[in-house]
Structure 1
Amino acid sequence: MLPDKDFVNGLTWLIENGIIVVEQTVNEIETEEKISDVNCLGNARCISGTVVKIVDGDTIQVDDVAVRFALASAPELRGYGGVESRDFIQTLCPAGSQVIVDEDDSQTKGSYGRLVGVVYCNEINLNKELLDIGLGHLSVQFCDSSEFRYTDWAQKHGCESYTEPEPTSTQSQCDPSYPDFCIPQPPPDLDCGDIPQKNFTVLQPDPHRFDVDKDGIGCES
């Protein structure tokens, strides 16, 4: 039977030479457990990988894929706050970290070939953290389409206040007497000089009286 000291020395030698890998195995198990706790939304890709590089405050490289944060934007590196936002993400998720990327269903073809999604690193939502700390801003132009627009963090930072502009005219406002174009019902009463269309079909009762001679053609030039 080996003395305790010899046993420890022998075990240390085995670990140092890679014959026994204790810490790596434990870390791998912990990482797998953390990754499995993340449930992706929607129907787009849900990928896992290793962070190779923090490109800037809203873009990281995962294996050979560039990943852009959905709904969260950071300043350019040369802009005010750009370096700070990158360093913040790097602190939360340094190179070598394991991540899950939940791709945005509505942005499966991101700009510059990047994958667009929510990034989870060490069980932290990086998109949310960037906005919460004030080093980034919400990309409100995607609030009408992103699958993440109804998440708590997106609503908190601006998607809740986003509304699509009201259309100037809808099909229900178009007068059926003028089937070729959408001409609104009166009031107000319109004359031919008030509209750009000429020589179009007019059906009765013709409330705007575009067809004066009642030949079925309005605003004849």
Structure 2
Amino acid sequence: MKTLIVGLGLSVVVSVPTLAAQVVSVGDGDTLTVVENGQNITIRLACIDAPESSQPGGIASTNRLKQLVAVGTIVSIETVDRDRYGRTVGVVSKGNLNINLTMVQEGQAVVYHKYLSNCPNSQAYINAQKQARQRSLGFWNITNAVMPWDWRKGVRNNQPTNANGTTRGNSVNNANLPACVNSDCDCSDFLTQSQAQQVLQAYPGDPHRLDRDQDGVACESLP
């Protein structure tokens, strides 16, 4: 793949490394190992973050990636970056199927907003996540889901964050929340937007789907 950059009157062609390799193992929902020219290479899937194996949804995410790129599968990898562990960060494709994007579309991984600036076609990932959330697929069907980056920090449903990884603040005492949180809330259960916002802040992952456009504001039509 080649990218044309034009600046200061000069045209520069920058080559983005792409390699074809065979899958030898899958570590979790966003990591796999391939062999290329006799060398094992660990690949961290770019643009996405999958639930950790120890958290709800983690095993399902790992199993789905194993189905998509079973051992022996030939894949192509568009290198995007290299992480602090020395792993290749890239977009993995099987034929015309973008594996990274597919994991988000199916709710088996979330968009990694922190590193999205390096992600090719980032808007496609954002749109895919919105649809997966609306359909409560995979990770988005987990009650009180914790974002993978928070889980790695030891957060366990007490420091909710927005989908872009920014902290929303301390969780709200359930005693101060409406009874609908014990089943399923929607915007019609609240008299004011501030009441809906309390529930959104108390439940990371927005299991009640009060923030449809994922801007961190619940039920914006309410007074």
If the length of structure 1 is used for normalisation, what is the TM-score? Answer: 0.48
Q: Report which of the two has the higher share of strand.
A: 2
Larger Rg: 1
